Structure 1
Amino acid sequence: MLLNLYGIYGNFPLGKNDMIDNATQFGAAVASARKALGLTQRELALAINSGERFIVDLEAGKPTAQLGKALAAAKVVGLRLTATGTPQA
């Protein structure tokens, strides 16, 4: 199963249905969207009630980033995720 990722603001370099299948790609997408909105890492961290270090790690592709906070960061910068495909046993 993969995640489709698209930006609701449409002003950063992601396609409507870019596929994300690892933490590095997810982090890069969050960083790209954040920068397109003119937000600093600190501002994004404050928006999700987190520390700046979390955003630094998330954008660097840290695979152990907390999912809830990662999804909150994606939402703030206008990214939406949808699961696609068939679950594999």
Structure 2
Amino acid sequence: MKNTPYGKISTPAELGALLRRRRKEAGVLQADAAALSNVGTRFLSELERGKPTAELGKVLLVLARLGLELYVVPRGAAPTGEDES
């Protein structure tokens, strides 16, 4: 992907904006991204607009289909990007 700013996400709106940029940079239509993620277009549209009550499992599916991963780190720590399992 080109210039998608990755990093700390503090709000549903920030996550939605990042997902939308990633999808558009990949040249994927919203309907196609929804189908690939096994979610409805309404869900994806609401997620990209920052819906705060989006179902976590579906959010994780969309992230994965767009080639993104979610890391949880202690506040103030930087993610290493390594699998620690």
Establish whether TM, by shorter chain, passes 0.5. yes
For structure 1, which runs of at least 5 residues remain unmatched after alignment? 1-9
1:72 is matched with 61
2:35 is matched with 46
Secondary structure of 1:26's aligned partner = helix
* Offset from partner CA, 1:13-66 (integer Å, 9 cap, x none): 224xx1001111111111010001100110011011111000100000000111
RMSD: 1.3
Q: After the TM superposition, list the runs of 4 or more consecutive aligned residues in structure 1 that deviate by more than 6 angstroms.
A: none
1:30 is matched with 19
For structure 2, which runs of at least 5 residues remain unmatched after alignment? 76-85
Larger strand proportion of the pair? 1
More relative contact order in 1 or in 2 (CA 8 Å, sep 6+)? Answer: 1
For residue 83 of structure 1, the aligned residue among 65, 68, 72 is: 72
1:59 is matched with 48
Aligned length: 75
1:13 lines up with 2:8 in the alignment: no
Q: 1:83 deviation in Å?
A: 0.4
Identity across aligned pairs (percent)?
Answer: 35
The TM-score, its normalising length taken from structure 1, stands at 0.77
Specify the code of the residue in structure 1 equivalent to 2:19. Answer: V
The TM-score, its normalising length taken from structure 2, stands at 0.81
Specify the code of the residue in structure 2 equivalent to 1:54. Answer: F
